[in-house]
Structure 1
């Protein structure tokens, strides 16, 4: 378990300590709510299938929690952020990075990213990829500021361009 102390931020005044930890049984509703709130403002910019694949539902989240390492950030029992990672050979892949909108700009997303990268590196990962969509320009900038670069690979994501990012872990 990794405890993160973030600098005080006006949007965090009503939050207690934020704990970053592996997801566990009972976190599902909080993860689904976090994904829905984080991606909700972009719903009209997604195709319906792409949005459903992004925000998930109970069965798809259960499958993700079985096949990937899911991390959550919690405060006073509330899930306020999440990210998932998987590993095949020495390459990792990230999915479902989300932070509640009220906590954007607080450093929480960076702490989640560092936590999942630490786990991947500890598992022998040397290279990590992630995919994002064009409406998420702030996320693209965030990933670039954290050492990720566009790989040049763009695939179809239910009728939307999906842009791959890559980072070498040292």
Structure 2
């Protein structure tokens, strides 16, 4: 990852910037309306939403400017050994700079530290660069969703052993 980029745990002061990133990126891919993470109430208070047991959210900064983030948390309605990679979004200025692979590694390492044995994620067809990152990171596509994420708008699912 380039030297100027920095990954760190989310802080309360980051909530508005993270919400702005999520709300800017999701419409790019048609992820608006019911069934998408953009409507999750936690988008406005991500720091608090990830201050639960076995959860972590990280932000990526470039010269102090927050440009993206992503996290892991227990898979709602899933088995206790499975976490979910959640709300990993980058503004265009961050894409293609190695931040995705670095943040993915940080999230997966954290999931292992928390004792998870698998990591699940949901995405959308059309998020091609993200899907290439998931596959390079060892995720394999599965046919149906797991758990009860509430993101009925997603149409592509991945799982990875940790």
Give the TM-score normalised by the residue count of structure 2: 0.79
User: Is residue 138 from structure 1 mapped to residue 144 from structure 2 by the alignment?
Assistant: no
Q: Is the 8 A contact 1:30 1:78 kept in 2?
A: no
Question: Secondary structure of the residue that 2:60 maps to in structure 1?
Answer: strand
**Aligned counterpart in structure 2 of residue 112 of structure 1, from 103, 112, 117:** 103
Cα 1:63/1:153, change in 2 over 3 Å = farther
**Aligned-CA RMSD value:** 2.5
Which residue of structure 2 lines up, in the alignment, with residue 25 of structure 1?
Answer: 12
Shift of 1:81: 1.6
Q: Aligned residue for 1:66?
A: 51
Structure 1, gaps ≥5 residues long: 1-5, 8-15
Residue 39 of structure 2 is matched in structure 1 by: 53
Cα drift, residue 161 of structure 1? 4.4
Q: Which moved more, 1:122-131 or 1:16-25?
A: 16-25
Q: Distance in 1 between matches of 2:26 and 2:19?
A: 11
Counterpart of 1:102 in structure 2 is: 93
8 Å Cα contact 1:32-1:55 kept in structure 2:
no
Instruction: Name 1:167's counterpart in structure 2.
Output: 160
TM superposition shift of 1:53:
2.8
Q: Which residue of 2 aligns with 1:123?
A: 114
Q: Give the superposition deviation at 1:148.
A: 0.5
Does the 8 Å contact 1:36/1:55 carry over to 2? no
Structure number with the higher strand fraction is 1
| Distance in 1 between residues matched to 2:85 and 2:157, nearest whole Å | 11
Q: CA deviation at 1:163?
A: 2.1
Deviation of 1:23 after TM superposition, in Å, equals: 0.6
Q: In the alignment, does 2:28 pair up with 1:41?
A: yes
Q: What's the CA shift for 1:22?
A: 0.8
8 Å Cα contact 2:84/2:120 also seen in 1: yes
Q: 1:117 to 1:161 in 2, by over 3 A?
A: closer
Max Rg structure: 1
